[in-house]
Amino acid sequence: MKVKILLFGILLVFLSTNIFSQTFTNVAQQIGITSTYFDDYYIPGGGAGFADYDNDGDVDLLVAGRTNFIFYRNDNGIYTDITSQTGINFNGDCLKSVVWGDYDNDGWRDVYLTSWYSGSRLYKNNGNGTFSDVTTSAGISIPFMYQTTTAAWGDVNRDGYIDLYIGNYGNIEGAGEQPNYFYRNNGNGTFTDITNSSGAKDSLYKKPLAIVIFDFDMDGWQDIYLAMDKHQRSTLFKNLGNGTFQDITYSSNTMCYFDAMGIAVGDYNHDGLFDMHVSNGPPGNATFRNNGNGTFTDVAVPTNTTINKECWGNSFVDYDNDGWVDLYASAAAGIDMCDVLYKNNRNNTFSNIGFSIGIRDSTFSYGIAKGDYNNDGYPDICATMSRDSVAHFYKNSGGSNNWIKLKCIGMQTNKDAIGTVVTSYAGGSINRQVILGGSSYLSSDDVELIIGLGTSDKADSIVINWTNGNVDRSYNVLKNGRYTAVEGSGVIGIQPIGNEVPFAFGLFQNYPNPFNPSTRIRFSLPEAGNVLLKVYDITGREVATLVNHKMQAGTYETDFNAAGISSGVYFYKMISGSFTSTKKMIITK
């Protein structure tokens, strides 16, 4: 009998190792993450936000501590604390949200930071590694002693500039008694308070902990959902498209009368509609399935996503790139305090596999942010902690499934493409995502999307619905490449060619040449490093930047579309480390 039990145990270990060959490892200490958050009496924990603040091609990280925000620059997969160099000297008490967004459309990501008792601030990215506090000059005026918890960006009037909704919690016990604020971006670096005129003020007696702004009914206008703590009713505001909003919480069946603390948005069942997961305490979370007719149904019980812990941050994340979003949630109490990762079983149910694949924290966990810190095409997760525990940084080991990374850049719409909906079709399956300007609990994800392809070697098509109604379509986008989608041009970018590592650097002649209007440029890298590839006219004036980020060793191709550029002789130049090469090309029209 003992032999049988031993063999059975060995078999279980073998099976779990093979079934869950893809794992997460907490690498916070190895990569330089040291952030802690000493618990406070008020609302515990802080947020985190991934963003490529310096446009070098990898995601940096800003984390809220109890008394200061900590800024980490990504240096080849190692995070360096550069807080003192950035000008973000927000020191106070009970610091909360980190919400990234390029409010002035200058191509450099700005950030809005909130706190419980120390005011809230808008920092402008100066494009030189520093930030400036522009809160006052921008016209954002939240009373200093307000208990501001959460905020989110979204272009609610489709004018190409992101607007800002700010949630104020009020007293820790009893009624909130502090109004939310809603600011319209004027497009000139300033904002106008539209809280009252928009109809999206909400009651004084609410306690918001999470806000998401997205177009839930796909009518082209971004709506607002607020999750409320202390059994205050959560609110869904429908955007009427005329500058005003209507509270449709009851008619949409999205009311939550519990301790709602985080919101995740994603299409978990592949019906092309955005669903929501709202975190709660041990009584159970809500999973709102979008019915496509302006209503939702709470399917947490049949989908097995009640979780029944004290959950805070949450995120729909396709951890294994099979094309189906899974569910991550942080925990601070309940059955235990271990965060969970629920795998999407593709049959409208989820299974908790987190502990089996390395999600094994045992402390109080709060804000959740996701981003691909090492550019391997698989999402990694940062979870903030409290009680002086160091934030956890879960590195995704990656797996065998294919992927596409896509960064959307608005031209007429906002530069960050916040609110833009990206739909990919691969292998007969639909994958729909929306770029959010804040979500989870007090946090924000990287805006560069990862599209899981499963075993497909390409996306048959990618459709991008920009927030102003423009639509771009691209076809046959190859697997395991990093692409950019520029509004009006569709998906352009870098495609890997083969799997072999070249012996030397190389920049090859574009083809076709001469060309009109597009051509393709191939280059090779024998080692990982930063790559800069630019196009210049005959006078030396820069015409376009085709590549400007860190890349792994390999051979790649990128497209150059010269639509709107005059005929003539041009030069393209590549720099990587000590390697420099320049080639000539000709545009004929």
Q: How far is CA 207 from CA 182, 198, 237, 333, 426, in A?
A: 16, 20, 16, 20, 42
Rounded to whole angstroms, the Cα distance separating 140 from 193 reads 8
Distance, in Å, from the CA atom of 376 to the CA atom of 299, rounded to the nearest integer, reads 34
- Which secondary-structure segment (H or E) carries 225? strand 223-228
CA distance 275 to 214: 11
DSSP at 233: P
pLDDT of residue 41: 57
**φ/ψ (deg, to 5) at 421:** -105, 130
DSSP 430-461: EEEEE--BSBBTTBB--SSEEEEEET-SEEEE
Which stretch of DSSP H or E encloses residue 429? strand 429-434
With tokens 């607002």, the residue in question is 224
CATH of domain 46-396: 2.130.10.10
User: What is residue 553's predicted lDDT score, i.e. its pLDDT?
Assistant: 87
* Cis check: omega of the bond before 517, within 30 degrees of 0: yes
Of the candidates 499, 501, 506, the residue with the CA atom closest to the CA atom of residue 523: 506
The whole-angstrom distance between residue 487's C-alpha and the CA centroid of its chain comes to: 19
Do residues 48 and 391 make contact, with C-beta atoms less than 8 angstroms apart? yes
**Domain residue spans in the chain?**
46-396, 402-429+450-496, 506-587
- CA 62, CA 123: separation in Å to the nearest integer? 12
Cis peptide before 512 (omega within 30 of 0): yes
Residues in the chain: 589
Instruction: Confirm if 105 and 99 have CB atoms less than 8 A apart.
Output: no
How are beta strands 481-486 and 402-409 bridged, if at all? parallel
**CATH number listed for the domain at residues 506-587:** 2.60.40.1930
Distance (Å, rounded) from C-alpha 101 to C-alpha 339?
Answer: 28
Helices marked H in 442-556: none
Q: How far is CA 178 from CA 98, 201, 204, in A?
A: 21, 11, 6
pLDDT for residue 175: 59
What does pTM read for this prediction? 0.87
Paired tokens of 123: 């920092």
Question: Tens place of pLDDT for every residue, the chain, 589 residues?
Answer: 434 434 434 433 333 444 567 999 999 999 999 988 876 556 788 999 999 999 888 999 999 988 899 999 999 899 999 999 999 999 888 899 999 999 999 999 999 999 988 899 999 999 999 999 999 999 999 988 889 999 999 999 999 999 999 999 987 765 567 899 999 999 999 999 999 999 999 877 789 999 999 999 999 999 999 999 989 999 999 999 999 999 999 999 999 999 999 999 999 999 999 999 999 999 999 999 999 999 999 999 999 999 999 999 999 999 999 999 999 999 987 778 899 999 999 999 999 999 999 998 878 899 999 999 999 999 999 999 887 688 999 999 999 999 999 999 998 999 999 999 999 999 999 999 999 999 999 999 999 999 999 999 999 999 999 999 999 999 888 888 888 888 887 887 777 787 789 999 999 999 999 999 889 999 999 998 889 999 999 999 988 888 887 787 889 998 888 877 899 999 999 999 999 999 999 999 8
d(C-alpha 392, C-alpha 15), whole Å: 27
Q: Minimal CA–CA distance to 501: which of 563, 556, 463, 557?
A: 556
Look at residue 56 in the predicted model and tell me its pLDDT.
85
Is there a shared CATH topology between the 46-396 domain and the 506-587 domain? no
Please report the beta strands in 21-85, taking only residues with DSSP state E, as ranges in sequence order.
24-26, 48-51, 60-64, 69-75, 78-81
Q: What stretches of 444-521 show up as alpha helix (H) in DSSP?
A: none
How far is it, in rounded angstroms, from Cα 100 to Cα 53? 9
Q: How far is CA 373 from CA 1, 333, 380, 396, in A?
A: 48, 29, 7, 10
pLDDT of residue 132: 98
Q: Is the dihedral of CA 273, 373, 64, 71 positive or negative?
A: negative
Helix (H) or strand (E) holding 181: strand 181-185
Q: What is the pLDDT of residue 174?
A: 58
Distance CA 206, CA 180 (A): 9
Instruction: Report the SS3 class of residue 350.
Output: strand
Spatial CA neighbour of 268 closest among 296, 303, 302: 303
